[in-house]
Chains A and B, each alone.
Chain A
Amino acid sequence: MKHQGQTHAVDRDDIQGLLRSGYGHHLEACFLLLRIRDREAARAWLVGAPVTSAAMVERPAGPLPETVLQLALSSEGLRALGVADDIIEGFAEEFVSGMAGDANRARRLGDVGASAPERWQWGSGQRVPHVLVLLYALPGRLDAWRRTIEQQCVAGFDTLACLQTADSLDREPFGFRDGISQPKIDWERQRPARDDTRLAYSNLSCLGEFVLGYPNEYGGYTDRPLLDAQRGAQAALPRAEDAPDKADLGRNGSYLVLRQLAQDVRGFWAFMDSAAGGDPDQRERFAAAMVGRTLQGVPLVAATKASDAAASSADLNDFTYQSDPQGLRCPLGAHIRRANPRNADLPAGTRGIVSRLIRTLGFDEEALRQDLVASTRFHRLLRRGRKYGAATLAESLTGPPGAPAGLHFICLGANLARQFEFVQDAWMTGTKFDGLTAESDPQLGTRLPAPDGTPTDGYSIPQPDGPDRRITGLPRFVTVLGGGYFFLPGIRALRYLAAAH
């Protein structure tokens, strides 16, 4: 190995804790969207802001911190801070250009119609946040923590919005158990950093898929700003593993995607109810068929195996779709199947070099049928979202419309284009996922017909004994209210960005 020794260790003191933990014990959270008003005051705060590191949240190292602060910056934020253009240009193109403001990106992400950036409450035009402050606290501590931080920020920043979150984490607003599927990150760097073909799906991801400055699934390093060594010396920026004469501004950092997704809970269940003809069991079965899990989180494809509703997330996450190629148990277009198809680099087949060659050249008809979806391991998301609002199933069907509810979707990744944007475009918005036609994601889909008029508001449930069951006329259940791309820097990189002139 080329880069052994000091560079090999992962510096957990430099990594923000969010990469390591979703702060599940910190039931209270709110997200501040700030714009810089006074550059010097903003810098002064960022240089000393009490950011929680991965080392501080790792247990059993010590007691949990009562309050947590995480910091991320948008490209407009970097500009407002006065960070040099050549440094900003070293970041990913998607980050530099931002989530809103490009019609092509809007088409790919499905941010059209009611979800178009022009209609967002924040994240577009003059309402692009510069700094994202994520505050977490143990029960009962958030209000004071938020006041403390707001007081510290008042000199340098204007508050664009404060995104509140709900205190319970287990169920998302439609009522499904959420947050089960998460990649496991190879923090110990045990997987060799090399480029090879993986013949089986694994939930273990290379560190470099989520943390910049480390090898990714291709055994390579994702592009990030590398600076001349003296430029980064002041802040003691780490050196780049792949270019030891450069300071690595990206190392220990990640990109953070934030999207505010309003969920029409009432609309969702009312639609299921009418599709089920008012039968509560059938209503729940339809909803489960669209999600790919039961309300309790049991995956449909493994329903016979993990029927225990109290099963741990790890148990509920341990399956693939290999035994269900036609989608007879879990429809091909189910939300969790689109979001994480759990396939390998090569369609399954017998071992042996000849079989592998045949599949590589495309001469195996059955393998080709199983080869319509890209290899999953290059397209994983580390999800850190929190829901907002409160709605229950019973309330949503009767009584007056409830308060707004939804998800502050957050995901982390080292490569915005290959991870978040790919999943959102090819797998969620895409109408030809795994050979399907005329349907996008049953939960997230925009339902707008394609430019040629083809509808996208259907949903197919394959049947063993006849043509697919087809549900049509799905309304829009999820509307985007705001969004942005941020850089979640390593802590030394944050200090450098705050101090750099």
Chain B
Amino acid sequence: MVVAPLAAGREGSLRELLDTMNSAPGMADPGNTILPFGAFERLHFARLVLLDDPTLADVEAYGLRPSKAPLCLAFMGDCDGPSRQTLAAMSQRAEAGLRSVFAHCEGFDAHGDLLTWMLAHDTPVAANYVNWVGRSVLQIKQESALQRMLSARVGRRPLASGTEARAARRSLITFVEEEKRAGRLALTPPERTPLRWRIAKLVNLIAVPLAGLIALPLLIVLLPWLIYLLRTRETSDPEICPRPQREALQTLQDLEDHEVSNQYTAIGTLKPGRFRRWLLSVLLVLVDYSCRHVFTRGYLARVQTIHFARWVFIDDKRRVVFASNYDGGHQAYMDDFINKVGWGLNLLFSNGLGWPRTRWLILGGARIEQSFKRYQRRHQIPTQVWYKAYPGLALVDLKRNQRIREGLERERMSDAQALAWLRLL
């Protein structure tokens, strides 16, 4: 995530410039002249957002003075392969456009190297979630084309027997082969994960539990004290969940529901003190770990509607930015949050200032429906420019299309498997 403070007096013209990138409110035109997102084949999602935090004054509840954080521009995206590679491609192909955007930032050197500047402003992501690790934009688009093709082709009549189902599948396989040969369809085999990534993943897989193991004795000794710290805070931390301003809410809603997916960007301050800071840092390491090794196949606990999500510390770890791309409407997203992963939300976000009261870190909190809903809307900020590479496709589509392709490429299938496969079409 590239984050840079704006130069004084440049906010208005930046907002105007960002608006020119859109074809509908907040919806990026894939071919816009500033940054033609559609030209980058490895890019799934991207957004440009002004981190304009409406809740800075909340620290007054602790008798603290609000910090005068400068207004920052954030640029983030989700791509296949190293992000550096995509940034490099962008700085080559859309140099003028990107320069015109970042020229609104403080200290941007119009003559310096663009990529170097962006990398220098790259803020590390504390935790990152990917719905299906390794599923590339190319794969998604090719499999969608395959699904459409097969769905139009398949005979929609009852099959008398399993043998007939297998025969139907075989004829579809032949059909696909012909289409491939005719150049009307491509199914590129997945790229191999680079060795360096696999090693890094393995190291991470071992290192985190190892560090945990080493810290365990200390943790056990400290546990009563930590519980005391947590419980005293949980029972006295102020809840700050007033209704969001109507105009602010309207601005957010104007940007939503133009597509089957939506974006969500939120910002907030951590509760003051080292305890929360450490707790959240450790928890985000654990969340990142589980997203990297456990929740890599289409679900984050029970939630199956999030494409990508990330948590980023900013402002010297005093504040956090959360950004996600999800399927369906905002109400449904909140419903999933409360009913499916309220516990997980509490684990992380209860370290944020003003969160509805939790018990034992996972209970209460987001389950206090009305307070939670006001809280999350109040902390949400408008995403000025948002891009999605495969409009119209939701995660249920991606998963089904993937299963169609897998079934197509399987050597052998039983009668029942062939029938189940045909029923996907």
Contacts and interface: CB of A to CB of B under 8 A. Distances in A.
Interface of A: 89, 93, 96-97, 102-105, 107-108, 195, 216, 218, 220-223, 326, 345, 359-362, 368, 371-372, 374-375, 378, 417-418, 421-422, 425-426, 430-432, 435-437, 450-454, 462-463, 465-470
B253 A426 contact: no
B52 interface: no
Contacts of B368: 218, 220
A103 B254 contact: yes
Given A374-B332, A432-B397, A467-B422, A362 B301 contact: yes
22 contacts: A93-B249, A107-B257, A218-B369, A223-B370, A368-B304, A371-B340, A374-B332, A418-B331, A422-B329, A422-B331, A422-B335, A425-B329, A426-B329, A426-B332, A432-B394, A432-B397, A435-B396, A437-B397, A451-B24, A452-B259, A454-B392, A467-B425
Contacts, number: 137
B250 interface: yes
B422 A466 contact: yes
Chain B interface size, under 10 / 10 to 19 / 20 to 34 / 35 or more:
35 or more
Chain A CB within 10 A, most for which of B165, B243, B256, B396 = B396
Interface in B254-272: 254, 256-260
Contact of A362 (B295, B339, B419, B425): B295
B256 A345 contact: no
Interface string B238-250: 0000010010011
Contact of A108 (B299, B329, B336, B369): B329
Given A375-B339, A418-B331, A422-B331, A453 B392 contact: yes
B245 to A, nearest CB: 11
Given A451-B392, A452-B259, A467-B154, 19 more contacts: A216-B369, A218-B367, A361-B301, A362-B299, A362-B300, A372-B396, A374-B339, A375-B339, A422-B331, A422-B332, A426-B328, A426-B331, A430-B329, A437-B400, A463-B423, A466-B155, A466-B157, A466-B158, A466-B422
B391 A452 contact: yes
Given A371-B304, A422-B331, A466 B391 contact: no
Contacts of A107: 257-258
B339 A104 contact: no
A220 B370 contact: yes
A251 to B, nearest CB: 16
A432 B260 contact: yes
A368 B419 contact: no
Contact of A465 (B155, B159, B260, B339): B159
Given A362-B299, A450-B260, A102 B253 contact: yes
B78 interface: no
Given A451-B391, A454-B392, A368 B423 contact: no
Given A425-B329, A425-B332, A437-B397, A368 B253 contact: no
Given A108-B257, A195-B367, A430 B302 contact: no
Contact of A372 (B160, B304, B329): B304
Contacts of A469: 156
Contact of B246 (A93, A426, A431, A468): A93
A466 B156 contact: yes
Nearest to B257: A107
B301 A360 contact: yes
A465 B302 contact: no
Contacts of A360: 301-302
A107 B260 CA distance: 11
A451 B258 contact: yes
B237 interface: no
A28 to B, nearest CB: 37
